[in-house]
Amino acid sequence: MKAIRQETDEDLLIRLRRGDEAAFLALYRKRQAALYRFALQMSGSAGVAEDITQEVFLALLRGECGFNPERGSLSGYLFGIARKLALRQMERGRVDVPLESDAEDAALPELAVSDDTLADLTHREGIEALRRAVAALPRRYREVVVLCDLEEVDYADAAAALGCPIGTVRSRLHRARALLLEKLNKERPKPVGSFKPVRCAI
């Protein structure tokens, strides 16, 4: 039996540029949800996320953005456009999520150990606390967590979307997760003596 080959984004883009509406629709349906969620996480506003999603595909339709497959995948490229549009909105003050504070960079957490600080992350309250912690991350850390952890974008596509090297994606992700742990630790009331920050000695 012959296996049916799944059309790639790039195949769909070629057909789209020939005027194939079905290809445009297929590409939109394949990518819109992740782009919308990314825009929503970045902007904190459903209206802004809707505008951004629409504008990303309009840009693709108009062929104004000069997608080059040699520089990365279409998915990473679309996330990159969505990110730029979200940043513009943030600069114009149309978003609900607070802009990053550079002070948070200086206050990255030390390596710390807690016995069961995150034990409730599988419960509804724990997930809600995690959602708040992600929303409260500084922008540069929030975007990498949303892309890599929530949307499962690979590092290469995330790097293309963020316009930075893969190593930067890795290090930001590392810091972002440390910040999340710190925020979650702060949020959870701790019994006296159950938590003691320490440094690794080995």
Partner 1 sequence: MNCAEFWNEMPELAAGGGLQNEHEHEHLKQCPQCAGLIEQQRRLASGLRIMAHDWRAVAAPPRVEANLIEAFRNQMTPAGPRLARMRMLPVFSLAAVAAAVLAVAVWVAPRRPVAPPAAHHAPAAQVELASLADDGSDDDGFIPLPNAERVGPNDDVHVVRMELPRSAMLVVGLDVSPERVSERVEAEVMLGPDGLARAVRFADEPGTY
Q: Which residues of the shown chain bind partner 1 in the complex (CB under 8 A)?
A: 19, 21, 24-25, 28-29, 32-33, 35-37, 40, 49-51, 53-55, 57-59, 61-62, 64-67, 77, 80-81, 84-85, 88, 91-92, 111-115, 117-119, 121-122, 126-127, 130-131, 134, 145, 148-152, 155, 163, 170, 173-174, 177, 180-181, 184, 198-202
Tokens representing residue 77 in the block: 């490229």
**Pairwise CA distance, residues 40 & 86, whole Å:** 9
Q: Of 81 and 138, which CB lies nearer to partner 1 in the complex structure?
A: 81
Q: Of 31 and 138, which CB lies nearer to partner 1 in the complex structure?
A: 31
**Pairwise CA distance, residues 101 & 99, whole Å:** 7
CB of 22 to partner 1, least distance (A): 10
CB of 1 to partner 1, least distance (A): 31
Helix H, strand E, coil C: the string for 58-112 is HHHHHCCCCCCHHHCCHHHHHHHHHHHHHHHHHHCCCCCCCCCCCHHHHCCCCCC
CB of 57 to partner 1, least distance (A): 5
Q: Of 82 and 138, which CB lies nearer to partner 1 in the complex structure?
A: 82
Q: Of 11 and 130, which CB lies nearer to partner 1 in the complex structure?
A: 130
**Pairwise CA distance, residues 108 & 175, whole Å:** 7
CB of 3 to partner 1, least distance (A): 26
3-class SS of residue 130: helix
What angle separates helix 9-17 from helix 21-43, to the nearest 10 degrees? 120
